Amino acid sequence: DAKTTQPNSMESNEEEPVHLPCNHSTISGTDYIHWYRQLPSQGPEYVIHGLTSNVNNRMASLAIAEDRKSSTLILHRATLRDAAVYYCILRGGTYSGAGSYQLTFGKGTKLSVIP
Amino acid sequence: GAGVSQSPSNKVTEKGKDVELRCDPISGHTALYWYRQSLGQGLEFLIYFQGNSAPDKSGLPSDRFSAERTGGSVSTLTIQRTQQEDSAVYLCASSLEARGNEQFFGPGTRLTVL
């Protein structure tokens, strides 16, 4: 699986925008970029995903570099509830068979939100 | 509607005992995954079920681990002769189909092996 690189931790002030970076220089043409987050003592939660174009949903925006070797998850106004570990995951769009569907989690970025 | 549920939420057992962990996926979801998360670590894939197909067991760490999914719905993860290194949070996720973009995770079962 192609690997992603994220900072170990980031801090943000409440009500400020947050940009969480992810590098994936070995991404293949069919890999989708997925973001999940995990709040303390909870299971992971889907945030957003994209392939080439920037994406927006009610939770966040995903900005994908033109060469697709990096992406940025954008939280427009951080709240205390956004404090979590954010995972950037590549997921193959072409499946080779059973075993291709699981998510491969790295260490993620621990986001702290300061009131 | 109801999300993915797991039971028990916490399980403390003695080394050498067998344990069973249960997962109730979202109704209608054909794909089901088990992961585990050791303290301070990322999630590790264990096993995946899709409909009536043979499960993908490639992530199971040893033959002490097994899982089944009855009737395409409820799944049970069994760990035999538990060891202290089995202590972790075991997470179950389901998705509408195998290629479903979003996996919905349960709250997990925290297993502690003394």
Asked if the Cβ–Cβ distance from B93 to A43 is below 8 Å, we say: yes
Burial class (CB in 10 A: 0-12, 13-18, 19+), B81: exposed
CA distance A30 to B49: 23
| Per-residue pLDDT at B96 | 85
Q: Does A40 touch chain B (CB under 8 A)?
A: no
A47 vs chain B: nearest CA distance in angstroms?
9
Edge-to-edge order in the sheet of strand B75-79: B5-7, B19-24, B75-79, B65-69
| Per-residue pLDDT at A94 | 52
pLDDT in tens, B23-40: 999 998 989 999 999 987
pLDDT in tens, B53-91: 888 888 999 999 999 998 879 999 999 999 999 999 999
| Per-residue pLDDT at B17 | 98
Tokens of B24: 């109730």
DSSP secondary structure, B57-104, as one string: -TT--STTEEEEEGGGS-EEEEE-S--GGG-EEEEEEEESSTT-S-PE
| Per-residue pLDDT at B98 | 62
Q: Is the peptide bond before B8 cis (omega within 30 degrees of 0)?
A: yes
CA distance A58 to A37: 15
| Per-residue pLDDT at B70 | 85
Q: Does A92 touch chain B (CB under 8 A)?
A: no
A and B: number of Cβ contacts within 8 A: 62
Going residue by residue through chain A (115 aa), what tens digit of pLDDT does each one get?
568 999 999 999 999 999 999 999 999 888 889 999 999 989 999 999 999 999 999 999 999 999 999 999 999 999 999 999 999 998 875 554 444 577 888 889 999 999 9
Tokens of A62: 């995903």
CA distance B59 to B6: 20
